[in-house]
Structure 1
Amino acid sequence: MSKKKGLSVEEKRSRMMDFFYEKKDFYQLKELERLCQKEKGITSMSVKEILTSLVDDGIVDTDKIGTSVYFWAFPSKASQNRKRKIDDLSNKLQEVKNKKQALDEAIAKAKVGKEETQNRTDILAELASKKDERQKLASQLEKYRECDPEVLEKIKKETTTAMEAANRWTDNIFCIKSWIKNKFSFEDSVIDKQFGIPDDFDYVQ
């Protein structure tokens, strides 16, 4: 025949609270050790430990009167504790809702900026075109390196003009990114992903 399993800590705590709520009276430790064992099956050896845990959690009240220490717990306090927990949870829930609303509004504002996506796409396309043009000019420059100095000078100027134009567009894009980052606290990677800006996007050197 298997040995009867003892009560768990939670079962002991629950039974001791039932005892207090049923009796609605004040008790000393010695009385609780005797009565809880007799009426609730809690061994007297564990009563002090369970009682201490309930006092630490603020579920059972205690006070010293003269040389005696008394313990008690009334159902009304348990009801108040439950109400207080419900109020705390309700406040936390409202805080979460407020944060969610703020995030939703920030996302909505960020999406407004996406209306300019086509414009940014055009800018990036023109920038890519300028890069290609610069590459072609650089190739031509290489071909004419030993040719007419006037032709070389012209190509150099055209290359410089193309590079400056490309960097102006690059600067404009960086300014827009900075504004979005400061306004909505988005990371660079998020902005790049949203507007299709490549990872190696930078000024033309």
Structure 2
Amino acid sequence: MTQKNAALAKHKKELDKLETSLGETKAALDEADQGREDTPERQSLISTLSSLQSQSTALQAKLSAFGAADPIKYEKKKQAIDTCKEGAVRWTDNVMILMQYAGGLGVESGQVRGFLEIGRWS
């Protein structure tokens, strides 16, 4: 009998905890609902939000239709191309300076081009 009484007391204690927790949760829910009364202003804001979300979706679809012509992608590609051009010019200048320096030391330009694996240019 004592085991049954102990188990019953344990379960009653757990039930009391759960009822207390339920009461606290209901109170928190009621408190959260206080700012959500269905007022005309809230309805207006909800409809504005809905229209802005649909407008945003339409604009996103329109932007994705551009594909490769997306202005942001275009700008990134343009910057990458400019960086590559600057690098090519820089290395061309470096090679020309090296060719002039090696020529001043008496090294033939063909040897330098062969060492750098550069073909003949016009």
Q: TM-score range by the shorter chain?
A: 0.3 to 0.5
Calculate the TM-score normalised by the size of structure 1.
Answer: 0.24
Larger RCO of the pair (alpha carbons < 8 Å, separation 6+): 1
Higher normalized helix content (fraction of residues): 2
Calculate the TM-score normalised by the size of structure 2.
Answer: 0.38
